[in-house]
Amino acid sequence: MTDLNKIASYAQGILNEIAKESVTEQKYVTAGDMAGVRNLLDSGETNIRLEDDGDWSNFVFKGMRPEGRASISPVNPNYIFPAMEVAQCENIAFSGFKIARTDGQRKRGKLVYTLGGANLAFRDMELFSDLSLTNDPTSYVDWTLADWTNRIVGGFHVASPDSVIEGCKSIACYMSIVLYADRCASSRNKVLGFSGDAYRLIGDNCTSDDDYAQDAFQINKNHSDVLQSWSIGEDRRSGSGVRKGLSIRRLTARRWTLGDHLNHPLMAEPQGIGMFDGIYENCLVEDCDLDIGAYHGISFYGAKDVIIRGNKVWDHFRPEAESKRPWIMVHDHKNGTQSTGSLIKDNICQNITVDDATAKVSGNVKANVAA
């Protein structure tokens, strides 16, 4: 089996690199002056601060590629920026921004969207699907179905390889944090209120370390997942390829933390880690703690050399011992391809199903943590 420790530690190398704080002189750019940002980067400046003295409504970074890593951050940490687009950029770390959907942003847009380029970082940022949340982040509990539907907006959608999202918050977004390129990392992020999926890893050798999600809302026919991935083949169809080298460690989920609203009509029953359209090869799910509501706690459909180890999958609304949900499952691919080489060890869950004649299964406990 491929050394999954190398895959799991890949993100740390990126994080260590972006953690090196710049000691260069800060350069300031007045609001709206994207040409000024480009000029500073082209001249070799690496520490750029954006002023709040005007209009940043056109918050688009295009084709900016400094030779070394540069950082861009706001002067005023409480200034609310509009949606950010980063197209064909490289070697830039964005940090400290607060971004909220404005009335003019189209429905189903994204608050941070990247396309092309590579080696980007987003650190210590906060994303809000509505401006009102900047004053009261958990006021989404009072939203009606119409409120949620009218505020459908994505959080981070990063389609640039070798990129990192670290220490950020996504609040009341639909698809909250999506990594759509190879060798991307999500680390120490928090998803607070989600109506689609909290996390998606749609690239090879992507990682999720120490991420968190809470409060799932059901607003349409989509069944929400804490984390989901799928393969994409040459025909661009899901489930027709091989998704390789995913590492998910210490992911924590709490399906509902709003104790005064236990009869909320939009409270969802999210799935945990849903891997329904493999093949998934050399993937790791380790030390996760998932309080969810659906059957699927951790499920792989079409697995090759997958490790599921040391996880807790439970539902605090169903503490009864006789319940068979949520479960851990390794199943054949939907096209009938058999799973092989699975290791399922030292997990706690209500039920385990393994359709893999070569699997090694040991040390698992069938129990509900909430009981």
For the record, the structure tokens of 286 come out as 């380790």
Taking a C-beta distance cutoff of 8 angstroms, is the pair 200, 158 a contact? no
In this prediction the pTM is 0.92
Q: How many CB atoms lie within 10 A of CB 88?
A: 15
Mean pLDDT within 18-30: 73
Confidence band for 22, pLDDT divided at 50, 70 and 90:
very low
**Which of 179, 284, 174, 158 lies closest to 225, judged by CA?**
174
For the record, the structure tokens of 50 come out as 């954006």
pLDDT at site 309: 98
Whether the ω angle into residue 219 lies within 30 degrees of 0, i.e. cis, is: no
**Which of 193, 204, 249 lies closest to 231, judged by CA?**
204
| Residue 189 clears pLDDT 50, i.e. is over it | yes
Confidence band for 1, pLDDT divided at 50, 70 and 90:
very low
Q: How many CB atoms lie within 10 A of CB 179?
A: 27
Residue that is written with structure tokens 């385990």 in the block: 352
Residue that is written with structure tokens 């409060």 in the block: 215
Q: How far apart are CA 137 and CA 257, in angstroms?
A: 14
Taking a C-beta distance cutoff of 8 angstroms, is the pair 261, 297 a contact? no
pLDDT digits (tens, 9 = 90+) for 204-248: 999 999 999 999 999 999 989 999 999 999 999 998 999 999 999
**Which of 86, 132, 138, 144 lies closest to 111, judged by CA?**
86
Q: How far apart are CA 291 and CA 312, in angstroms?
A: 8
Confidence band for 368, pLDDT divided at 50, 70 and 90:
confident
Q: How far apart are CA 292 and CA 327, in angstroms?
A: 10
Determine the Cα angle at 37 with ends 31 and 39, to 5°. 135
